[in-house]
Amino acid sequence: MGGTWAWGLCAISMMFCVSWGGLMARFIDRGRERQSDMEEKRPMWLQSWDEEMRGRSLF
């Protein structure tokens, strides 16, 4: 039953992605509240990743 195994793996990975995404969003929101005045001191990769995620959530 290869199809069942693949479907189970897909479901597990999706659940992991959703929970990890929610955790990261909560962490980013908390960090933004605490460091809103340090906006320009954030690392470049974090800023670009944040903008990318924000743009992705619009679609």
Chunk the chain into consecutive blocks of 10 residues (it has 59) and report each block's average pLDDT, rounded to whole numbers: 78 82 79 60 67 67
pLDDT at 58: 56
pLDDT at 23: 81
pLDDT at 4: 84
pLDDT at 15: 84
Q: Collapsing DSSP states into helix, strand and coil, what is residue 1? A: coil
Pure H helices in 1-59: 2-34, 44-58
Structural domain containing residue 20: 2-58
C-beta separation of 50 from 28 below 8 A? yes
pLDDT at 1: 53
Domains identified in the chain, total number: 1
pTM of the model: 0.34
pLDDT at 57: 62
